[in-house]
A and B are shown apart, each in its own frame.
Chain A
């Protein structure tokens, strides 16, 4: 039976229309609804299903971020993870914390906690990087199975179905391995109230990146964050004929 590490990130809720700060340094996060990154919910769900099928003995949820990041850890625990690790990052450091840092932290934790499988979401919906799983695997020299829509467990191996550009691809990976979850991997469960209450008693270990010996100094400088260009307001056309005329005018037909 394996031990599974799942990475979760607290992000602005997917349904929120974000606003850029007037000074162009980032987006407004204060007072904005946050939730667990949707892809990470899928990763947690998959890990918990492994436990329910007796394929995993323990599911450890980990997050890197300022104190509020614990919210997502509690959500993971309420969904069924056994314990949490909060790698605390100061708010200023967090601004330039990137997948390179997170992947080093998770790789170190994977060794310390002797895990056999790491599952993370394929991308965070805030920075849209899509890098962490691949980089953890690179750090550990483990195989990576990105964009998984199906995971089948064998003896010392995993058969995964990946979502690729033209369709699907099947790979067989040796464990230990790192996987990233695509949307279609599963349907995450809702945490019930009793489970949310129980989650409050589950342990969360708090450590810093320095405890782990990971340097989180900035590898990038954010020059600016701006609003995207606004599209010119369009027109409602009354019927198909007018639409065709308009498209011809623009040279599309």
Chain B
């Protein structure tokens, strides 16, 4: 009798874990002042998965960020962790915090944006959980089935994850941003603990200053390549970009030649952008560059070489000397 009911309990428990409700932890990216836009894209991916959504905001002084995140519509809880330990948002300090949260709450999904921050952090968490992470997803077919690109965007892979916890980084440009309004999630402190690590010390950041919109979320991007011939000549693109309220990007050739800093690089190894309008100036269109921009709504190419591969993906191509036509274009946009 006792044995039978005990077995019943065991079975009930097993069934229970199988139909365990989905619950997602989204790791917010921010600079202690504002939430990074990519986090809003990750939140809509989380909503697509379904179930409870908890957002972790960890930093040195990020109450305002937590408050902003709690306004997002459809999220259940914001957990706030303020500590000097999280200075520089190092993976080594954040991982134990996230593991502690996971031990308490047993999330089914742990998500972050596929930015430098998310890419550095998530695989470390996955290794500690002994699960295989999924990078840079562009679609969700089911809570365990994700779509991502491989080979510099030249093939699209659909994979089913067998591990019980899905650790996933999300391509920001593939999901709409969830607006930070209409919600009123509870804001609670994250589990306390000593997360200070002696493995790594944050020294400094050198962030390139710009008045232009941020590259990955800009509606219009003007990019330059080797054809610009010098860093000085990039001024042509800055003038054009200012007329269009556009961000400025670059090909690897332009970055390697030292025309612009490498955080402007668009491509497989740089930023992935998908603006409404992408204007490629003096860019031939190597596979690696196309990987970063071919999901743009409209692509314009300005290049004097009619054989340049960029024309195969461009909606509008102008075969001309950029030094002649870019100033004319800028002038006529007045």
Which residues of A come within 8 Å of B, CB atoms?
12, 14-15, 17-18, 20, 27, 39, 98-100, 103, 122-123, 125-132, 134-139, 141-147, 149, 159, 162-174, 177, 182-184, 218-228, 231-237, 239-241, 243-244, 246-247, 250, 252-253
- Tell whether, in the assembled complex, residue B316 and residue A247 are in contact, meaning their CB atoms are under 8 Å apart: yes
A166 touches B207 (CB 8 A): yes
What residues on A are CB-neighbors of B105 within 8 Å? none
16 intermolecular pairs with C-beta atoms under 8 Å apart: A18-B154, A128-B135, A128-B148, A130-B119, A135-B133, A138-B95, A138-B126, A165-B115, A165-B116, A168-B206, A171-B200, A173-B200, A222-B158, A235-B316, A236-B318, A253-B244
Q: A243 near B160 (CB under 8 angstroms)?
A: no
Q: Which residues of A contact B125 (CB under 8 A)?
A: 138
- Is the CB–CB distance between A126 and B158 below 8 Å? no
B148 nearest in chain A by CB position: A128
| A166 pairs with B205, CB closer than 8 A | yes
How many angstroms between the C-alpha atoms of A235 and B313 in the bound complex? 10
Given A20-B155, A100-B127, A171-B200, verify A166-B135 contact (CB < 8 Å): no
| Residue numbers in A under 8 Å from B197 (CB-CB) | 143
Cβ of B294: which chain A residues have Cβ within 8 Å of it?
A: 228, 231
Q: Taking CB as reference atom, which chain A residue is nearest B153?
A: A228
Interface of A is mostly: mixed
Cβ–Cβ contact A129 & B135, under 8 A = yes
**Which chain A residues lie closer than 8 Å to B181 at the CB level?**
none
In the complex, which residues of chain B have a beta carbon less than 8 angstroms from the beta carbon of A184?
255-256, 262
Within the assembled complex, what's the spacing in Å between the Cα atoms of A135 and B313?
A: 36
Q: Give chain B nearest CB distance to A247 CB in angstroms.
A: 7
Query: Assuming A218-B162, A228-B155, A235-B317, is B204 touching A169 (CB within 8 A)?
Result: yes
Residue of A nearest to B294 (CB): A231
A240-B132 CB under 8 A given contacts A128-B150, A138-B125, A228-B155: no
Enumerate chain A residues within 8 angstroms of B206, measured Cβ to Cβ: 167-170
Task: Quote the shortest CB–CB distance from B161 to chain A (angstroms).
Answer: 6
Q: Flag B82-110 by CB within 8 Å of A: 1 or 0 each.
A: 00000010111001000000000000000
Q: Does chain A have a CB within 8 A of B224?
A: no
Considering residues B145, B206, B216, which has the most beta carbons from chain A within 10 angstroms of its beta carbon? B206
- Bound form: Cα–Cα A167–B126 in Å: 26
Known: A128-B136, A244-B332. A100 touches B158 (CB 8 A): no
- Tell me, in angstroms, the Cα distance from A18 to B151 when the chains sit together: 8
A246 neighbours in B (Cβ, 8 Å) = 316
- With the chains together, A58 CA to B159 CA distance in Å? 39
B188 contacts partner chain A, Cβ-Cβ < 8 Å: no
Q: Shortest distance in angstroms between A188's beta carbon and chain B's nearest beta carbon?
A: 13
Chain B 293-319 against A: per-residue CB contact (8 Å), 1 yes, 0 no? 010001110000010000111111111
CB pair A252 B151 closer than 8 Å: no
Q: Please name all residues of chain A whose beta carbon is closer than 8 Å to the beta carbon of B255 when the two chains form the complex.
A: 184
A contact residues around B205 at 8 Å (CB): 164, 166-170
* Cα distance A179–B149 in the bound complex, in angstroms: 25
Within residues 255 to 286 of chain B, which ones have a CB less than 8 A from any CB in chain A? 255-256, 261-263, 268-269, 271, 276-277
Residue from A182, A227, A233 within 8 A of B156 (CB atoms): A227
Contacts of A125 in B (CB 8 A): 151-152, 268
Residue of A20, A132, A147 near B116 (CB, 8 A) is: A147
The answer on a CB contact under 8 Å between A221 and B160 is yes
Asked, given contacts A163-B263, A166-B263, A219-B132, whether A146 binds B120 with beta carbons under 8 Å apart, the answer is: yes
In the bound complex, do residue A234 and residue B207 qualify as a contact, i.e. CB atoms below 8 Å apart?
no
Is B199 on the interface with A (CB-CB < 8 A)?
yes
Q: Determine the residue in chain B with the shortest Cβ distance to A218.
A: B162
Is the CB–CB distance between B318 and A223 below 8 Å? Answer: no
| Contact assessment for A159 and B203 in the assembled complex, using a CB-CB cutoff below 8 Å | yes
By a CB distance below 8 angstroms, the chain B residues around A164 are: 116-117, 205, 263
A163 to B269, CA, bound (A): 11
**A99 contacts B123, C-beta separation under 8 Å:** yes
What separation, in Å, do the CA atoms of A15 and B95 have in the docked complex? Answer: 37
Select from chain A the residue with minimum beta-carbon distance to B317. A236
Q: How far is the CB of A112 from chain B (nearest CB, A)?
A: 18
Nearest-CB distance from B85 to chain A (Å)?
14
**Binary interface encoding of chain B residues 321-334 relative to chain A, with 1 for a CB under 8 A from any of its CBs, else 0:** 00001001100110
Beyond the given A134-B123, A247-B316, could you list 17 further A-B residue pairs with CB under 8 A, ordered by the A residue number?
Answer: A123-B269, A126-B150, A126-B151, A131-B133, A134-B119, A138-B127, A141-B199, A143-B199, A164-B263, A173-B201, A184-B256, A220-B134, A221-B162, A234-B313, A236-B306, A240-B318, A253-B333
